[in-house]
Structure 1
């Protein structure tokens, strides 16, 4: 094969899905020389995608590895992998039978306690683009605000009160706050009004690299419990991580079970378990799931590209 690993990343246009695929591709790029091509995939009937020719435009380099996340990319991924005789790596539990893919990276709460098959890797949460922490000084504070979902409700007053207490107790560091697409309208402005020390960054005005860069600076991160992807990003950054209170609509659901597991393993500290006079506790380890999975991809499919120990 070439010295440069040609990766084809299929994107359904959903930022959360593409973030996972980019996280794996970028982790591979930190291990070996890569070239990543992103191919948008239009939503179409799954069987039509599965039985398509798998041909690619001439301007797309011949791929040696194909990765993707999201239901819409599954059929197209398998067609391209079959056409080019290359490994397929799917992120998240696939809609199609998992044995059709060469490797499935599945959050372990989605496996519901079942032992992963030989072509599966159970991950702690979804992969992300946050690299392992470096040696730069960390003094910042970051607050990540989500919004109501199928698993969580919303309590603006409880969140605002908690944030005021946090900023007052840890006022020696600068505190930034950003929201998400699910955040109720006006929430960020209300937080800024009630806590003027906050530096607000509306998500619509932040670029793709803003969050990884801010996480690299932060010593402490507080995340609303509904924002599962941001929780795992914070845990991948090396920061101490706390949970802001939001009401659970499904206390026995898989999302809540995953959060409770992280709390029990001391990765997360709920706000009502935290003493304002003490810093958040350090997690037992930094999550490096993107790096771990990238090593496994090379080990399984491209062992000659593994870096020397």
Structure 2
């Protein structure tokens, strides 16, 4: 390895997948210098076409130190580049192809219900993300993050907004901010403005991708609707106290398992528990999954750089 680690990041254009890859790459970059080449496969149809596109985009770049990607559309191209260059490849999330084709798979533990399929599979607490554990000596204020109906959860505005009302009323001297998401039903913002004039509302389309990490870093407590699995893990990664706002579950499955495990492990508190005690405890442990995985990768392939 030279003075910096050359990382090829395969991207399918989906913000959630990009968030995971960059979370890992940035965590590696906090340990040593990295050079990142982004290989854009968005809009390219079919695995063979994506493989050819990846080969064209990396022609003349030399040999990387690591190939990283997330999302089904990146898998064949990732394997092809790794085989061509003799470079380790790291896939995030459970791949649609056999795990044995990748050098390392970083898979959320709630997706491994049948057990860990091999030594190259590392369970993670949720998907990796770019949010860093905040070291701010003082944190203040509350943050509310709203999702919306999904394949796993429904939506009941009355129940969710009543919960928000009880939570904010219990902390009358605390400032509150709220943002929604693309899935939040139309009309919810108007209800929030009418019922909670003391809550500062930030529509999601008016925020950039730096807004949420910055808000999380300074918030003392964060309440997230249970359907918003990504925002739950981002909130936990920040080190804030995290509560779960009630939304109806449609079915049990991997998302429900993941949420139940967080509660069992003392990382997040359901609204029902808070309503009985009035207490939102801090997480039982710090969640620094991107940093943990970055350290594991360097120990495995570049121990001299740790």
TM-score by length of 1: 0.93
Seen in structure 2, the aligned counterparts of structure 1 residues 35 and 51 have a Cα distance that, compared at 3 Å, is closer
Q: Which residue of 1 aligns with 2:107?
A: 106
- For residues 80-130 of structure 1, the C-alpha deviation after alignment (integer angstroms, 9 at most, x for no partner) is 222222111000000111111110000111111413511110011100111
Seen in structure 2, the aligned counterparts of structure 1 residues 276 and 201 have a Cα distance that, compared at 3 Å, is farther
Contact kept? 2:107, 2:122, Cα under 8 Å: yes
Distance 1:305 1:55 in 2: 30
- 2:264 is aligned with 1:254: no
Seen in structure 2, the aligned counterparts of structure 1 residues 53 and 212 have a Cα distance that, compared at 3 Å, is closer
Seen in structure 2, the aligned counterparts of structure 1 residues 51 and 101 have a Cα distance that, compared at 3 Å, is farther
Q: Which residue of 1 aligns with 2:98?
A: 97
Contact kept? 2:274, 2:280, Cα under 8 Å: yes
Using the TM superposition, give the Cα deviation of residue 56 of structure 1 relative to its aligned residue in structure 2, in angstroms. 2.8
Secondary structure, counterpart of 2:123 in structure 1:
strand
Using the TM superposition, give the Cα deviation of residue 76 of structure 1 relative to its aligned residue in structure 2, in angstroms. 1.2
For structure 2, the 5+ residue unaligned runs are none
Contact kept? 2:141, 2:220, Cα under 8 Å: yes
Using the TM superposition, give the Cα deviation of residue 277 of structure 1 relative to its aligned residue in structure 2, in angstroms. 7.0
Q: Structure 2 matches for 1:150-165, cutoff 5 A?
A: 150-165=151-166
Q: Which moved more, 1:124-133 or 1:146-155?
A: 124-133
Using the TM superposition, give the Cα deviation of residue 249 of structure 1 relative to its aligned residue in structure 2, in angstroms. 0.2
Q: Which residue of 2 aligns with 1:290?
A: 290
For structure 1, the 5+ residue unaligned runs are none
Secondary structure, counterpart of 1:10 in structure 2:
strand
Distance 2:2 2:167 in 1: 52
Distance 2:63 2:210 in 1: 28
- 2:200 is aligned with 1:199: yes
Count of residues paired in the alignment: 305
Contact kept? 1:155, 1:247, Cα under 8 Å: yes
Distance 2:185 2:62 in 1: 43
- For residues 191-242 of structure 1, the C-alpha deviation after alignment (integer angstroms, 9 at most, x for no partner) is 1221111111111111111111111001100000000011111111111111
Secondary structure, counterpart of 2:57 in structure 1:
coil
Distance 2:109 2:148 in 1: 24
Q: Structure 2 matches for 1:81-92, cutoff 5 A?
A: 81-92=82-93
Using the TM superposition, give the Cα deviation of residue 157 of structure 1 relative to its aligned residue in structure 2, in angstroms. 1.0
Distance 2:176 2:63 in 1: 46
Q: Structure 2 matches for 1:1-309, cutoff 5 A?
A: 1-42=1-42, 43-49=44-50, 54-57=55-58, 62-250=63-251, 252-275=252-275, 278-306=278-306
Using the TM superposition, give the Cα deviation of residue 262 of structure 1 relative to its aligned residue in structure 2, in angstroms. 1.2
Over the aligned positions, Cα root-mean-square deviation in angstroms equals: 1.8
- For residues 53-98 of structure 1, the C-alpha deviation after alignment (integer angstroms, 9 at most, x for no partner) is 8343558575321111100111111122222221110000001111
Using the TM superposition, give the Cα deviation of residue 35 of structure 1 relative to its aligned residue in structure 2, in angstroms. 1.9
Contact kept? 1:262, 1:268, Cα under 8 Å: yes
